[in-house]
A = this chain, B = another copy of it.
Amino acid sequence: MARKKVAFQGARGAFSEEASRILLGDDLAYFPCERFEQVFRALADGKVRYAVVPIENTLAGSVHENYDHLLKFQLPIIAETRVRIVHNLITRPETKFSQIRSVISHPVALRQCLRFFEKHPQVRSEVFYDTAGSVEQVMRQRDPAVAAIASALAAQYYGAKTLRRSIEDDRRNYTRFFLLARKAPKLRAKNGQTLKTSIVFSTRNQPGTLFRCMSALALRDINLIKIESRPLRGRPWEYLFYVDLIGSPLEERYRNAMSHLAEMTEFLTVLGCYPQAA
């Protein structure tokens, strides 16, 4: 049986691959892409069965680019997961800590591990393209003085060693990922599952419209999980709103809220309805 094929942005062993395994299991075929747009394109063109993309990070905020692609490609969200971004010090299998003189990784990862570098001034940090790729480089380069910072999965994938776990300064670093498919499966609520829906809408250029839009949800006791406004470029005072709510088309109040919302918005798109991550 052919393995499920999934597209993601980054090198093998990237955090998006970790998210893919949580969402789909370990028996996957991977389609790594350089750009997010290529990830969406691969799914739209039928090159893969699934795509996994980051949508927000607790430290860095929403990935607006992927919201744009979600709107453009109209590929439904069918699941979500949250991955804690753990940065590990990764070396060749034979390396001892005292041998390390430099550590390579993506600058964002390096900057999230500043305390490690302050504590070990003999170790220099050096930028590299991405976290997982830095592990590949360490293994290829065969120099025990060079280590990498990346996920444990990257260490495993490239046959490297995780020498120090979780060297990041702030452990409250989580990324939320969406699983996308070409077509949404038939919706059903399994026991104990809470269904969540992600929508995007824009309002007409009038004061108080957002408040009225929210009344369509609040007056039906529909709970919001996320709300975020984003200015529409070139159209002052007009906004896109990203809203995540608890509810699904299986409920009458949800269906009523959506048709009420449609009356009051310029456009309204449902990005997907999926089980809430634990």
Interface mask (A211-229 → B, CB under 8 Å = 1, otherwise 0): 1001101100101111111
Q: A62 — which chain B residues lie within 8 A by C-beta?
A: 61-62
B59 touches A60 (CB 8 A): no
- CB within 8 Å of B: which residues of A? 34-35, 56, 58-65, 106-107, 111, 114, 127-130, 172, 207-208, 210-211, 214-215, 217-218, 221, 223-231, 233
Q: A63 — which chain B residues lie within 8 A by C-beta?
A: 60-61
Query: Quick one: given A64-B58, A107-B129, A211-B215, are A229 and B228 in contact (CB under 8 Å)?
Result: yes
B229 touches A229 (CB 8 A): no
A61, B64: Cα distance in complex, Å? 6
Q: A227 — which chain B residues lie within 8 A by C-beta?
A: 210, 227-229
A46 to chain B, nearest CB (A): 24
**Stoichiometry (number of copies):** 2
A138 to chain B, nearest CB (A): 15
Q: A111 — which chain B residues lie within 8 A by C-beta?
A: 35
A35 to chain B, nearest CB (A): 7
Interface centre among A61, A63, A127, A221 (most CB of B within 10 A): A61
B214 touches A211 (CB 8 A): yes
A62, B65: Cα distance in complex, Å? 13
Q: A56 — which chain B residues lie within 8 A by C-beta?
A: 61
A223 touches B207 (CB 8 A): yes
B61 touches A61 (CB 8 A): yes
Q: A59 — which chain B residues lie within 8 A by C-beta?
A: 64-65
A130, B218: Cα distance in complex, Å? 45
A234 to chain B, nearest CB (A): 8
Residue of B nearest to A110 (CB): B129
Q: A64 — which chain B residues lie within 8 A by C-beta?
A: 58-61
A114 to chain B, nearest CB (A): 7
